[in-house]
Structure 1
Amino acid sequence: MSTSNELTAAQRSDLRTIAAMIVPASDEYKVPGADDPAIQADMLATLGRDTLLVRAALDRLARLAGKSLAELDAARRDEVAKEFRATGGAAAATLVRVVLQCYYRDDRVLRSLGIELRAPFPKGHVLPEGDWSLLDPVKERGGKLRRLP
């Protein structure tokens, strides 16, 4: 039995499987897939508040598959994933976000993107100048929040 912060062995196996489907390894760019052991360890170590939704997503995948997603052949896995994307809701979105955030903070992935391996602060990262007029509708709404006394 798992605690609220742990995934079962079947859920971990399905997490590896769906992560590899979301971000497969690339020989061309010399980067691992999201099923890489180091990336998976990061996911499991940092699930935190997302644990319940990730578990719900993995349970939904297993229900759609009729068994562990990892046990299916590639064609059936793709069918299940397609249905999951269409019906997974917030749990599916959370699962994808967790996979992507852990993948894109891996040093190997950052190096392949030409991003300096360092904390974003105190140096920060320069962003291109954007179109500030996009905020005009928000400014026009005025203060709708309750002010503190």
Structure 2
Amino acid sequence: MTYGTLTEAEARDLRLLAGIMIPASTAHGVPGADDELIFADILKSLERDTADAQTALKQLHELSGGPFAALAPERRSEVAMRFKQEGGSPLFSLNRVVLLCYYRDDRVMRALGQEPRSPFPKGHVVEQGDWSLLDPVRKRPPMWRQV
């Protein structure tokens, strides 16, 4: 497996973290974010978020007192929960990439009852909601300056 711009150790830590972020579920029939196909997509999709991912993984390394992958599973969960609180914007960027890749996996989309395809050109049917919920927005004064 290629790791893009991540080192092998960073990729190993990221894969374990992704599995904690979104674990596999036999009840729902979905893989975790650490699944081989999903994780390969995560590595490919880091692109502009690579620097944030590396910063987040360095923070994770510091919180772990060494490689995250070297920790016992119980300790890994504890460190991940602490990292969730302290990770800041680099973790937010990393989380976004993990979620995007996870939810574009065909197996996950099928488990959600969705056809695994792009939304266009067919589109998706959206049920009509209660348009009166927008009334407070329509009634408020403009928030912009007239030109």
Shared fold by TM > 0.5?
Answer: yes
**What residue is the counterpart of 1:8 in the other structure?**
7
**What residue is the counterpart of 1:103 in the other structure?**
102
The aligned length equals: 143
Question: What TM-score does the superposition give when structure 2 sets the normalisation length?
Answer: 0.85
> What runs of 5+ residues in structure 2 fail to find an aligned partner?
none
What is the distance in 2 between the residues matched to 1:76 and 1:55?
Answer: 21
Deviations 1:20-74 (A, max 9, x none): 1011112222221111111111111111221111111111111100111111011
Q: Identity percentage over the alignment?
A: 48
> What runs of 5+ residues in structure 1 fail to find an aligned partner?
none
Cα gap change, 1:64 to 1:30, in 2 (>3 Å):
same
| 3-state DSSP of counterpart to 1:58 | helix
Matched, 1:45 2:75: no
43-52 or 11-20: bigger deviation: 43-52
| 3-state DSSP of counterpart to 2:122 | coil
- The CA deviation at 1:93 is 1.5
**What residue is the counterpart of 1:21 in the other structure?**
20
- The CA deviation at 1:134 is 3.9
What is the distance in 1 between the residues matched to 2:128 and 2:111?
Answer: 25
- The CA deviation at 1:127 is 2.1
What is the distance in 2 between the residues matched to 1:14 and 1:136?
Answer: 47
What is the distance in 1 between the residues matched to 2:129 and 2:119?
Answer: 20
Question: What TM-score does the superposition give when structure 1 sets the normalisation length?
Answer: 0.84
| 3-state DSSP of counterpart to 2:97 | helix
24-33 or 129-138: bigger deviation: 129-138
Matched, 1:113 2:106: no
